Structure 1
Amino acid sequence: MTYDSKLKSEFIDELFDAFMLLESKEEYYRFFEDICTIKEIQSLAQRLKVAKLLREKKTYNEIEEITGTSTATISRINRCLSYGADGYNLVLDRLEKKEG
Structure 2
Amino acid sequence: MTRDNSTRDNASNPEETQRLCEAMCLVKTPEEALAFLADLLSPHEMCDLAQRLEVATLLRSGRSYVDVSSTTGASSTTVSRVSKCLRGERGGYRLVLERLDGAVDVAVRAGAEKADGFGMQGRQG
Fold similarity call, TM over 0.5? yes
RMSD: 1.6
Q: 1:16 is aligned with what amino acid?
A: C
- Residue in 2 aligned with 1:33? 38
CA gap 1:18/1:70 in 2 versus in 1, 3 angstroms: same
Counterpart of 1:24 (choices 29, 36, 49) is 29
Structure 2 unmatched runs, 5+: 1-10, 106-125
For residues 45-99 of structure 1, the C-alpha deviation after alignment (integer angstroms, 9 at most, x for no partner) is 1101101100111011111111000111101111111124110001111111111
Structure 1 unmatched runs, 5+: 1-5
Bigger radius of gyration: 2
Counterpart of 2:15 (choices 10, 24, 39) is 10
Counterpart of 1:49 (choices 51, 54, 64) is 54
User: Which structure is higher in RCO with an 8 Å CA cutoff and minimum separation 6?
Assistant: 1
For residues 15-47 of structure 1, the C-alpha deviation after alignment (integer angstroms, 9 at most, x for no partner) is 111112222222211111111101101111110
Counterpart of 1:66 (choices 71, 74, 77) is 71
Find the residue that maps to 1:10 and give its secondary structure: helix
Q: What percent of counterpart residues are identical?
A: 37
User: What is the TM-score when the length of structure 2 is the normalising length?
Assistant: 0.70
User: What is the TM-score when the length of structure 1 is the normalising length?
Assistant: 0.86
CA gap 1:7/1:97 in 2 versus in 1, 3 angstroms: farther
Find the residue that maps to 1:69 and give its secondary structure: coil
How many residues align? The count is 95
